Structure 1
Amino acid sequence: MFEELRKPGGKLKMAVPRGALLEEVLDLLDRVGIETTEARGDSRSLVFDGGELILITMRPSDVPTYVSAGAADVGITGKDVLLEQSDRPVYELVDLGIGPCRMVLATQKGDVAPSEHQRRLGMMKIATKYKRIAEQYFAEQGRQVELVEVKGSIELAPLVGLADGIVDLVATGRTLAENNLEVKEEILGSTGRLVANRVSYRIRREEVDDLAARLRAAVSDAPGES
């Protein structure tokens, strides 16, 4: 299988996100006939035989890099990742509806609204790992903020005075609540998306379109979908 990774014209290579989204991705692939048994095991391998596809697991934030460069033909990652890495051109084919979450502006409980903070105290300092999305959001609002780039434990920033608030991705909001934070503004919603490399889509369009159609149908047939 490993020899196929760099073999032109072999099986389609799919970049699959590790972490919270992985189980939902594998369940969805199962429903369209992709073999996921190997990928569900406890192997330390990053590459798995998916039958008609080769599955390559990686951090969600790496998916656009691999797909845009052609190291993977297709991939699945969140809309938030695609927006943050909009300089990495890929074709977005299907909204899979999995892993729903929200990008929000949050501050400590009891703090004044961000607009009131700016009026009273001046420019807000915002910690985030989504600098591009945050910059665009505040620019569209005509609001000046100072962005502090933080890679991990972002909820800590307002608690220790590093920032007045955070822009981050939340699913249930539980982590915010446990750290005395609350959502003040919702910036955007995000779900998992199927994306394709532009060259792969052009030269292997029939295969990619077939996969996209099957996934689209599986999503449409899912419980709760009309």
Structure 2
Amino acid sequence: MKALTIAMPKGRIFEEAYVMLQEAGFNLPEEVEMTRKLMIEIPEEQISFILAKPMDVPVYVEHGVADIGIAGKDVLLEQARTVHELLDLKISECYIASAGLPNTTMNEIAPRIATKYPNIAMKYYKGIGEQVEIIELNGSIELAPMIGLSDRIVDIVSTGRTLKENGLIEYERIAEVSSRLIANPVSYRMKSERIQDLVTRLKKCVK
């Protein structure tokens, strides 16, 4: 049996995906002692987990330090890495939307869009024929329209509560997001049997 290295985001996605792997029949410990560990070895299954920031998972997979990974569709759309997308796990479902203050129109001359997804935002607005200026932010995106930094924001929406609490409304739904199983192209060829077995088993657990 060929060993597999799986890159996973820490937190909720790891927990949900870990339960799916258990449901798929992988012999994994009931609970994983998370502490501050960045790597977890499961010798019985010849599986190693690399715990990473969500944005780093496709990087590890593309460069082959992980054979496969679990990454949000938002990260895959933003980064356009050279990886194979194998399966939609349908976990951590949400979507990317544009939002802003109610009853406001966008500035006619180069409206400003604040986002941590500059590529997704640029591609979307280009696609609808809007020339925009992208302002890249990493946190508290909702603040941008409130302080006059941007006309709109482009961000992940889960329940919409954060938008509501900050007096913003949704304008356009841009893309659906869920966690995807991805593979390094070389690993996919070299370990195809092992990876295909994992995909087949996980498919049965997708709800």
- The TM-score normalised by the length of structure 2 is 0.93
Q: What is the aligned counterpart of 2:91 among 79, 87, 98?
A: 98
8 Å contact 1:104–1:184 — kept in the other structure?
yes
Q: Deviations over 1:175-220 (max 9, x none)?
A: 111111111100010110000000000111000111111111111x
8 Å contact 1:19–1:59 — kept in the other structure?
no
The amino acid that maps onto 1:82 is L
Q: Which residue of 2 aligns with 1:117?
A: 106
Q: Which residue of 2 aligns with 1:76?
A: 70
Matched residue SS, 2:169? strand
What does 1:55-66 align with in structure 2 at a 5 Å threshold? 55-66=49-60
2-side partners of 1:68 and 1:194: how far apart? 13
The total of aligned residue pairs comes to 205
RMSD: 1.7
1-side partners of 2:69 and 2:113: how far apart? 31
2-side partners of 1:130 and 1:38: how far apart? 36
Q: Which residue of 2 aligns with 1:32?
A: 24
Instruction: After superposing the two structures, state which structure 1 stretch, 9-18 or 190-199, moved more.
Output: 9-18
Matched residue SS, 2:92? coil
Matched residue SS, 2:18? helix
The amino acid that maps onto 1:14 is I
Instruction: After superposing the two structures, state which structure 1 stretch, 17-26 or 95-104, moved more.
Output: 17-26
8 Å contact 1:38–1:48 — kept in the other structure?
no
Q: Is 1:214 aligned to residue 201 of structure 2?
A: yes
Structure with bigger helix share is 1
- The TM-score normalised by the length of structure 1 is 0.85
2-side partners of 1:138 and 1:212: how far apart? 35
Q: Is 1:128 aligned to residue 120 of structure 2?
A: no
2-side partners of 1:60 and 1:39: how far apart? 21
Closer, same or farther: CA 150–23 of 1 in aligned 2, 3 Å: same
Q: What is the aligned counterpart of 2:37 among 45, 64, 82?
A: 45
Q: What is the aligned counterpart of 1:185 among 160, 172, 193?
A: 172
8 Å contact 1:12–1:73 — kept in the other structure?
yes
Q: CA deviation at 1:17?
A: 0.9
Q: CA deviation at 1:164?
A: 1.4
The amino acid that maps onto 1:91 is H
Segments of structure 1 that go 5 or more residues without pairing to the other structure are: 1-8
Which of 1 and 2 has higher RCO (CA within 8 Å, sep 6+)?
Answer: 2
8 Å contact 2:94–2:176 — kept in the other structure?
yes
Q: What is the aligned counterpart of 1:166 among 124, 128, 153?
A: 153
Q: Is 1:15 aligned to residue 4 of structure 2?
A: no
